């Protein structure tokens, strides 16, 4: 991710702040351990999912407070910023002041991000985010320029530079442009998990062109984190921590996109991205 893109991310999500150099270092160590990289014994034991007692990460601090209030309302009053808190997750505003298509679905258990293996076996957070973004949900997404787009950033790019702003899993509930949807609808994306890793779809938005791996699924009933790990990251031997994901509705179900900054395609000079922010619209 370039410096300009990183600055743009911060502007779009002003209420989120970097958790500091220590948090970024923890991401790098944790993802390397998950990938089997040789590390000193102490570093290799770092939990890539984080610990419940972790502090200084604003998104986790907020989600934790919402979860504690949901479980024990007598001793923990529900903070005003918590939307639709249940036993698994909560929706938070993605900007201050709030917008109409900038929300975050955040687990109330400690899960750092896409590199945490626990997200492949637990709650279906993609389905929760989609449901909460619908009319009647706690954070209905309205975007006149297109439709609902969900996304998760990688922990880091292939050069080891941090991509996300906060070390707590969060699914962006945002907009995705009609221009991008038109390209997806014309790309002949198949419902074929065996071909997902080899697939390439070239998408242009706001003057930026990148390659993505694309899959079509009928519904969101399955765990998409597990689906991507089993059919993309594991067979290609790519670090799960560098992968981004985007989900949006298709005429026959849903498109599931994934990419990373090292992805290449047929055209020389066009690569991939580890950031969902290249396609999602927040403002």
User: How many CA atoms lie within 13 Å of 94's alpha carbon, on the beta-carbon side?
Assistant: 29
What confidence tens digit (pLDDT) does each residue in 84-134 have? Answer: 999 999 999 999 998 999 999 999 999 999 999 999 998 999 999 999 999
Tokens of 194: 């065996």
Q: Which domains does the chain have, with CATH numbers?
A: 3-281 (3.30.428.30)
Q: Return the C-alpha torsion angle 230, 42, 65, 224, nearest 10.
A: 0
pLDDT at 10: 41
Report helix, strand or coil for 237.
coil
Q: How far apart are CA 253 and CA 214, in angstroms?
A: 13
As a whole number of angstroms, the distance between CA 194 and CA 174 comes to: 29
* pLDDT score of 266: 95
Tokens of 278: 């290249």
Q: Mean of the pLDDT values across residues 252-265?
A: 98
13, pLDDT greater than 90: no
**CA dist 208 to 64, 114, 202, 263, Å?**
37, 24, 10, 15
Among residues 224, 221, 114, 214, the alpha carbon closest in space to that of 170 is found at 114
Q: Could you tell me how far CA 232 lies from the centroid of its own chain?
A: 16
In sequence order, the 6+-apart residues with CB closer than 8 A to the CB of 4 are none
Question: Which of 2-16, 47-61, 135-149, 222-236 shows the lowest mean pLDDT across its residues?
Answer: 2-16
Alpha helices in the chain (DSSP H): 3-12, 21-34, 41-44, 58-71, 125-133, 178-185, 224-228, 234-236
pLDDT at 6 over 80: no
CA–CA separation, 278 and 272 (whole Å): 10
* List of residues 6+ apart from 17 with CB closer than 8 A: 58, 165
| pLDDT surpassing 70 at residue 30 | no
* Per-residue model confidence (pLDDT) at position 33: 37
Q: 243 with 232: CB under 8 angstroms?
A: yes
In this predicted model, which residue has the larger pLDDT, 155 or 12? 155
H helix or E strand, kind and range, residue 212 = strand 208-217
Contact 16, 59 (CB under 8 A): yes
Q: What is the pLDDT of residues 150-198, one digit of tens each?
A: 999 999 999 999 999 999 999 999 999 999 999 999 999 999 999 999 9
- In this model, does residue 2 exceed pLDDT 50? no
> Under 8 Å CB-to-CB from 203, ≥6 apart: which residues?
180, 183, 184, 209, 210, 211, 212, 279
Find the mean pLDDT for residues 224-230.
99
pLDDT tens digits for range 37-88: 333 333 345 789 999 999 999 999 999 999 999 999 999 999 999 999 999 9
pTM of the model: 0.85
């Amino acid at each position: 991710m370039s410096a300009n893109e990183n600055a743009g991310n911060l502007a779009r999500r002003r209420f989120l702040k970097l958790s500091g150099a220590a948090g970024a270092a923890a991401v790098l160590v944790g993802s390397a351990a998950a990938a089997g990289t040789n590390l000193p014994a102490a570093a290799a034991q770092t939990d890539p999912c984080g610990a419940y007692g972790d502090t200084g990460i604003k998104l986790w601090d907020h989600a934790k407070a919402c979860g504690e209030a949901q479980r024990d309302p007598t001793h923990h009053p529900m903070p005003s910023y918590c939307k639709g808190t249940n036993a698994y997750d909560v929706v938070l505003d993605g900007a201050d002041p709030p917008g109409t298509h900038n929300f975050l679905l955040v687990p109330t258990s400690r899960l750092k991000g896409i590199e945490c293996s626990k997200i492949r076996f637990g709650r279906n957070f993609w389905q929760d985010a989609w449901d909460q973004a619908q009319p009647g949900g706690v954070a209905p997404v309205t975007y006149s320029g297109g439709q609902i787009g969900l996304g998760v950033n990688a922990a880091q790019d292939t050069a080891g530079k941090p991509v996300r702003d906060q070390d707590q899993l969060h699914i962006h509930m945002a907009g995705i442009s009609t221009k991008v949807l038109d390209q997806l609808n014309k790309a002949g994306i198949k419902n074929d998990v065996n071909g997902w890793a080899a697939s390439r779809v070239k998408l242009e938005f706001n003057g930026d062109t990148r390659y993505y791996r694309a899959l079509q699924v009928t519904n969101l009933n399955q765990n998409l984190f597990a689906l991507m790990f089993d059919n993309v990251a594991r067979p290609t031997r790519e670090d799960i921590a560098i992968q981004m994901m985007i989900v949006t509705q298709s005429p026959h179900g849903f498109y599931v996109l994934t990419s990373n900054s090292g992805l290449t395609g047929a055209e020389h000079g066009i690569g991939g991205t580890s950031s969902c922010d290249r396609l999602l619209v927040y403002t």
